[in-house]
DNA sequence: GTCTATAGACCGATAGAC
DNA sequence: GTCTATCGGTCTATAGAC
């Protein structure tokens, strides 16, 4: 056997343990993300999460002190994915194209069943999220970037100037929990790609004839 | 005293009792409707409903045999309201105008906090609703009527022909649970009327410049 | 006096927390 | 693996109508 593998330097020992913890934490968050997308916060049980990860429920509470914290971690993860996607976009593209790309990305995540959705009514959950710095900072950064594109797109005439930028931003965010893709998917008449194209078209072009 | 009031015909005796039952049933359904709009199905408790109506929980179960039945009754009520609204529309108006009117009606109901919203994930609830004839019949009738308008609007060129009618129908239905009005209302920058106009405009005209 | 409907205690199950 | 709270659902004693 390779001694480099069986006898790593002492410094990697703690690093290894830390990495295991990190890996398990990631696994937990991924599981929560999926369950949150599948059943929503209220119907997701902590037991399910532990079962899916394959660890004891008590171990969950070593990482996250409440069910709300679990959900918050999943939201922070998605925010991070969104930030990574935004950063991967070519900086010199047309602003309207950037906005469309973001909307498409959210719809793809949703239709793949990987978009966690929290009930907007649950106040304890909202309070928890609103005191989560990582979530708020990420959301703010995304909103700033998209806000810039929205203003640029209105300035270059591609986006309607009669809709306030905040309304545009919220309308795009709302694609993350749009029920229409799910309805269409259940209908079975369209492929996922067609569904996304249709929803994007109705969102940007409207229902009326152009 | 008026004997006509103190001594009604015998037939009104049972009618009076029945009317009281009916009135209470209506009160229950209205309360459920409000709570369903406010907190959603999962967070609404049967005790709350009983408290709001001012009757004992056991009395609730004289009228409705389960929490799912309560929710279904609220949905049937809203379906009935929608049917009444559709029937009140002038039959000779332009089809696009009819569709806009329906979307506006749904948004108004939602922004007033009177649109019950069920989690689309809860399967026991869905099964219950899907076996409710009154609900299904009402929904079908509404869909037929709106489907007719959609096809007419596409035929007269006012509605985009490149969007399948079913997608149009679902997109309009989705206004009932659109989170954008709630976000805008929380922002406090717009009146309810402005919010509805903005959401309707983005829905029918799209985000892009025309 | 009888009978119905009500109020409110009560039970079992489940889920979050430790 | 345990503890506790909560919630959906039921049971029983009682008040009031006839």
Domains (ranges, CATH) in chain A?
3-205 (1.10.357.10)
Q: Distance from A198 to chain B by nearest Cα, in Å?
A: 7
Please say whether the beta carbons of A196 and A111 come within 8 A. yes
Contact A203 B198 (CB under 8 A): no
CA dihedral over A44, B36, B134, B179, signed as positive or negative = negative
User: Which residue's alpha carbon is at the shortest distance from the C1' of D10?
Assistant: B58
- The candidate with the shortest Cα–Cα distance to B73, out of B146, B18, B125, is B125
pLDDT (average), residues B11-40: 78
pTM for this predicted structure: 0.89
Q: Quick one: pLDDT band at residue A27, thresholds 50, 70, 90?
A: confident
- Name the phi and psi angles at A163, rounded to 5: -105, 120
Q: How many CB atoms lie within 10 A of CB B153?
A: 25
What span, in angstroms and rounded, lies between the C-alpha atoms of B39 and A149? 35
Nearest DNA or RNA nucleotide to A45 (CA to C1'):
C15
Strand partners, A159: B208
Chain A residues near residue B179 by CB distance under 8 angstroms? 120, 170, 174, 177
Token output for B98: 């009819």
Residues A22 and A31: beta-carbon distance below 8 Å: no
Does pLDDT of A4 surpass 80? no
Q: Which of B103, B110, B66 is nearest to B86 (CA)?
A: B103
Q: Are A153 and A146 in contact (CB under 8 A)?
A: no
* Number of CB atoms found within 10 A of residue A33's CB: 23
d(CA B57, CA B106): 31
Mean pLDDT of A185-202: 97
Place of tokens 């905040």: A166
As a whole number of angstroms, the distance between CA A142 and CA B90 comes to 46
**B106: pLDDT strictly greater than 80:** yes
Q: Nearest by CB to A207, which of B159, B179, B184?
A: B159
> What is residue B10's predicted lDDT score, i.e. its pLDDT?
39
The whole-number pLDDT of residue A14 equals: 58
Give the model confidence (pLDDT) of A66-78 as tens digits.
899 999 999 999 9
pLDDT tens readout for residues A119-156: 777 778 888 888 899 999 999 999 999 999 999 999 99
* Higher per-residue confidence, B121 vs A198: A198
Cβ within 8 Å, pair A208-B208: no
**Is residue B134's pLDDT more than 90?**
yes
Min Cα separation B41/chain A (Å): 10
pLDDT of residue B16: 64
Model confidence at A13, in pLDDT bands (50, 70, 90)? low
pLDDT in tens, B32-72: 999 999 888 988 999 999 988 888 888 888 889 899 999 99
SS (H, E, C) B152-188: HHHHCCCECCCCCHHHHHHHHHHHHHCCHHHHHHHHC
Across chain B, mean pLDDT equals 89
For residue B22, pLDDT over 90 is answered with no
Query: Would you list the DSSP string of B90-130?
Result: -TTS-HHHHHHHHHHHHHHHHHTT------TT-HHHHHHHH
pLDDT at B77 over 90: yes
């Amino acid at each position: 056997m390779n001694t480099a593998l069986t006898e790593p330097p002492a410094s990697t020992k703690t690093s290894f343990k830390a990495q295991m913890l990190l890996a398990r934490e990631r696994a937990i968050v991924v599981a929560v993300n999926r369950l949150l997308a599948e059943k929503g916060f209220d119907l997701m049980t902590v037991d399910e999460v532990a079962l899916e990860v394959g660890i004891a429920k008590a171990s969950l509470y070593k990482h996250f002190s409440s069910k709300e914290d679990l959900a918050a971690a999943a939201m922070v993860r998605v925010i991070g994915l969104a930030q990574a996607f935004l950063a991967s976009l070519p900086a010199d593209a047309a602003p309207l194209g950037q906005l469309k790309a973001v909307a498409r990305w959210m719809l793809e995540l949703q239709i793949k069943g990987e978009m966690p959705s929290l009930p907007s009514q649950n106040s304890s959950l909202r309070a928890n999220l609103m005191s989560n710095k990582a979530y708020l900072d990420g959301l703010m950064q995304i909103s700033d970037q998209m806000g810039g594109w929205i203003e640029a797109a209105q300035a270059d005439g591609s986006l309607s100037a009669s809709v306030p930028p905040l309304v545009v931003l919220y309308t795009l965010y709302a694609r993350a929990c749009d029920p229409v893709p799910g309805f269409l998917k259940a209908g079975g008449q369209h492929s996922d790609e067609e569904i996304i194209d249709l929803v994007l078209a109705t969102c940007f072009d409207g229902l009326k004839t152009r």
